[in-house]
């Protein structure tokens, strides 16, 4: 019988990924700190960092909690069998319970989407989506544009996967780690966009234009917004 350690106390000292500090400091993975002491059956997965361990849980519909034990590079996931159990008490061990991020899954033939309500830069958002097994959302038709917009509140900006960072005004979809790029066509730009304001707007977001139009805008890649992943 393995046991789960509370990993929260170690988080402030972990700085291996941007995702981590942003995610945990701001409750970004939707981690709910539980102070219940538990002892559970769970098998060890060898991983060398906490973020990968957490993402394993987040990408698994049945996982409700994860624990990373740094001293042994051990990742422990807790699944449905235990999520709703009243947890055993044990003076030495604690569990951190993770809520899955707000997720909207639309089976659109081959695509599945999640909207992630975390403030990340475009590159961090792309990394998050890749870790989830996908990429920032891409849009290739009017129908798909509406579908993706329907995942948003049509007020706050959200990142999607286009950029012209490689070549100004040559907008492409970034297909994640495969680096396969497709020219963006058709486009759904908002009024007077893309304007490359400050000669530094190279990443694609949806944003609200004067409370009338929720459409594409080129924005500074280092800005932080919620985002939509697809896979
Ligand atoms: Ca712009």
One digit per residue, pLDDT tens: the chain, 231 residues?
233 333 332 332 222 222 222 233 233 343 333 333 334 456 677 877 766 777 777 677 667 666 777 777 777 777 655 554 444 433 333 344 444 444 555 555 568 888 887 889 999 999 888 887 889 999 988 988 998 998 888 999 999 999 998 889 989 987 544 445 567 889 999 999 999 999 999 999 999 999 899 999 999 999 999 999 988
Cα(218) to ligand 1 centroid in Å equals 4
Can you give the pLDDT at residue 208?
A: 96
The span from the first CA to the last CA of the chain, in angstroms, equals 35
Cα(203) to ligand 1 centroid in Å equals 9
Cα(137) to ligand 1 centroid in Å equals 19
How many angstroms separate the CA atoms of 32 and 61, rounded? 17
Cα(193) to ligand 1 centroid in Å equals 6
The domain limits of the chain are 8-98, 113-230
Cα(106) to ligand 1 centroid in Å equals 29
Cα(170) to ligand 1 centroid in Å equals 15
CA-to-CA dists, residue 124 to 140, 175, 194, angstroms: 23, 14, 22
Cα(200) to ligand 1 centroid in Å equals 9
Q: Of 98, 87, 81, 89, which is closest to residue 43 (Cα–Cα)?
A: 81
How many angstroms separate the CA atoms of 15 and 105, rounded? 31
Can you give the pLDDT at residue 87?
A: 41
Cα(132) to ligand 1 centroid in Å equals 28
Cα(126) to ligand 1 centroid in Å equals 20
Can you give the pLDDT at residue 99?
A: 47
Pairing label, strands 225-230, 44-46: unpaired
CATH of 113-230, one of 3.40.50.300, 3.30.70.20, 3.30.390.30, 3.10.100.10: 3.10.100.10
Neighbour count for residue 93 (Cβ, 10 Å): 18
Can you give the pLDDT at residue 194?
A: 95
pTM over cut 0.85: no
Q: Of 220, 218, 194, which is closest to residue 204 (Cα–Cα)?
A: 218
Cα(226) to ligand 1 centroid in Å equals 17
How many angstroms separate the CA atoms of 55 and 20, rounded? 11
Local structure of residue 108 (DSSP, 8 states): B
Can you give the pLDDT at residue 185?
A: 87
């Amino acid at each position: 019988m393995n046991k789960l350690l509370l990993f929260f106390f170690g988080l402030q000292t972990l700085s291996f990924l941007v995702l981590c500090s942003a995610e945990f400091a701001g409750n970004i993975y939707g981690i709910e700190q539980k102070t219940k002491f538990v002892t559970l059956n769970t098998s060890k997965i060898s991983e060398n960092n906490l973020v990968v361990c957490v993402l394993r849980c987040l990408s698994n519909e049945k996982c409700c909690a994860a624990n990373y034990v740094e001293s042994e590079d051990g990742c422990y996931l807790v699944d449905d069998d235990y999520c709703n159990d009243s947890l055993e008490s044990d003076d030495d061990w604690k569990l951190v319970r993770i809520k899955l991020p707000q997720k909207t899954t639309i089976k659109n033939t081959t695509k599945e989407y999640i909207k992630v309500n975390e403030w990340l830069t475009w590159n961090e958002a792309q990394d998050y989506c890749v870790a989830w097994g996908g990429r920032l959302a891409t849009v290739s038709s009017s129908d798909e544009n509406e579908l993706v917009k329907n995942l948003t509140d049509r007020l706050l900006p959200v990142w999607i996967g286009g950029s012209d960072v490689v070549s100004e005004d040559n907008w492409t979809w970034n297909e994640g780690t495969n680096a396969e790029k497709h020219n963006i066509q058709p486009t759904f730009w908002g009024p007077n966009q893309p304007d490359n304001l400050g000669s530094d707007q190279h990443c694609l977001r949806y944003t609200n234009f004067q409370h009338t139009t929720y459409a594409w805008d080129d924005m500074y890649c280092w800005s932080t917004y919620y985002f939509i992943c697809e896979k």
